[in-house]
Amino acid sequence: MLEKLQSLEDKYNDLTELLSKPEVINDQSKFQKYAKAHAELNLIVSTFIEYKKVLQQAEEARQMLSENNDEEFKQMLLEEIEDLQNKKISLEHQLKVLLLPKDPNDEKSVIMEIRAGTGGEEAALFAQDLFRMYSRYAEINGWKIDIMDSNYTDIGGIKEIIFVIDGQGVYSKLKYESGVHRVQRIPSTESGGRIHTSAATVAVLPEAEEVEVEIDPNDLRIDVYCSSGPGGQSVNTTQSAVRITHIPTGLVVTCQDEKSQHKNKAQALRVLRARLKEIMEEEKNAELAGTRKSQVGSGDRSERIRTYNFPQGRVSDHRINLTLHKLDMVLAGQLDEIIEALTTYFQTELLKKVE
């Protein structure tokens, strides 16, 4: 591990030198390439430098310990050595995590799909709560949301919504949100005051570039029709909504939230590419990628990754046995505590496989 880290530090130093050369500064293409590589190495190299500094400090403290007879000073040195040892262990773990193979999708934008599951109208209202939660989280992070397709109930719930979250590193933050989310609360439609359990499914797909997934136009059947639901005067009067069927796989994607047929077609193709990319990755490595069925399940209450309990004001993630009594904060988009805990857990699991 140390040889690998030293090699990365040497590469980082070489890049630092290259970025200061006039011929590189004047070549924007080359400068941006080197600057990106330099930035990607910054965290691991700075952590490694700190690690080497801790090793040096520990060695100096042990040397002083062997040369000193003052008991009080020796005790102080022993405490310092213990602190440095703990810091060394922590930094070693950080370095191992930083050396893990990068998920090539981590820096990408995502296409999210939320669907009401078990629970009727209450499930649709909960799906709306989830969409609002992710929208606020995106806003907090400075990401942009673009709704592609939506289907609302009469009282404002969401039967289904498909949207893009554009930004850097979005997938790295949201990739563990795929699965069934369960809610326990007294529905506003319930006169008897009984607690109901409902569910909604979430799927998170990394956006696929055109070069990653080539789509043969001959494999597509494209239908146009009038949009339905909210959307202004053009609704039900203009054939702007688009339905694309990918004949080889049977995948169907619809998009109607834009007033332009051309824009809806472009949006639908974005979703189709993401779904085809997922299928390709499943085939390449079913164990790592999982399957769409395991991602979103059937929407049944029992297939849950997280529970939002309103009477107790708590959120529980069942994969990592994490419970937070911060329901209002989580639904307001403050998801970092959950996401960081999930990231740490899955990184640790991956480390076990690598070691």
| CATH topology classification for 110-211+290-353 | Alpha-Beta Plaits (3.30.70)
Res 257 pLDDT > 80:
no
Residue 321, classified by CB atoms within 10 Å of its CB into exposed (0-12), middle (13-18) or buried (19+), is exposed
Region of poorest pLDDT, from 10-14, 50-54, 92-96: 92-96
Single out the residue of 287, 289, 296, 275 nearest to residue 179, CA to CA: 296
**Strand 158-166 to 241-246 pairing:** unpaired
Backbone φ and ψ for 52, nearest 5 degrees, come out as -65, -35
Spell out the domain ranges in the chain: 2-98, 110-211+290-353, 217-283
Contact 106, 207 (CB under 8 A): no
Per-residue confidence at 235, pLDDT binned at 50, 70, 90?
very low
Please give the mean pLDDT across all residues of the chain. Answer: 85
Find where tokens 């085809």 sit: 276
How far apart, in whole angstroms, are the C-alpha atoms of residue 206 and residue 109? 6
Mean pLDDT across the stretch 48-70?
90
Mean pLDDT across the stretch 54-78?
89
Cα-to-chain-centroid distance, residue 115:
18
Q: Do domains 110-211+290-353 and 217-283 have the same CATH topology?
A: no
Contact 181, 306 (CB under 8 A): yes
Mean pLDDT across the stretch 222-229?
74
Single out the residue of 174, 93, 102, 40 nearest to residue 351, CA to CA: 93
Query: pLDDT tens, 322-332?
Result: 999 999 999 99
How far is CA 233 from each of CA 72, 147, 153, rounded to the nearest angstrom? 83, 19, 20
Res 231 pLDDT > 70:
no
pLDDT at 210: 66
Give the range with max mean pLDDT: 130-139, 190-199, 287-296, 343-352.
130-139
Encoded tokens for 200:
């909604």
Whole-model pTM: value is 0.70
Residue predicted with more confidence, 260 or 117: 117
The secondary element (H helix, E strand) that includes residue 341 is helix 336-354
Query: pLDDT tens, 157-177?
Result: 999 999 999 998 999 999 999
How far apart, in whole angstroms, are the C-alpha atoms of residue 338 and residue 134? 13
How far apart, in whole angstroms, are the C-alpha atoms of residue 163 and residue 137? 14
The secondary element (H helix, E strand) that includes residue 259 is none
Backbone φ and ψ for 236, nearest 5 degrees, come out as 65, 5
pLDDT at 79: 92
Contact 322, 156 (CB under 8 A): no
Upper half-sphere CA count for residue 187 (Cβ side, 13 Å): 18
3-state secondary structure (DSSP) of residue 285: coil
pLDDT at 175: 93
Kindly tell me the sign of the dihedral angle through the C-alpha atoms of 145, 146, 149, 155: positive
The secondary element (H helix, E strand) that includes residue 113 is strand 110-116
Contact 281, 208 (CB under 8 A): no
Contact 53, 45 (CB under 8 A): no
Upper half-sphere CA count for residue 300 (Cβ side, 13 Å): 6
pLDDT at 289: 42
What one-character-per-residue DSSP string does 142-201 give?
Answer: T-EEEEEEEEE-TTS-EEEEEEEEESTTHHHHHGGG-EEEEEEE--TT-SS---EEEEEE
3-state secondary structure (DSSP) of residue 204: strand
How far apart, in whole angstroms, are the C-alpha atoms of residue 338 and residue 309? 15
Find where tokens 């639904």 sit: 331
Asked if CATH classification 3.10.450.50 holds for the domain at 217-283, the reply, yes or no, is no
pLDDT at 224: 82
Amino acid at 59: E
How far apart, in whole angstroms, are the C-alpha atoms of residue 156 and residue 121? 9
Residue 328, classified by CB atoms within 10 Å of its CB into exposed (0-12), middle (13-18) or buried (19+), is exposed
Query: pLDDT tens, 172-194?
Result: 999 999 999 999 998 876 666 78
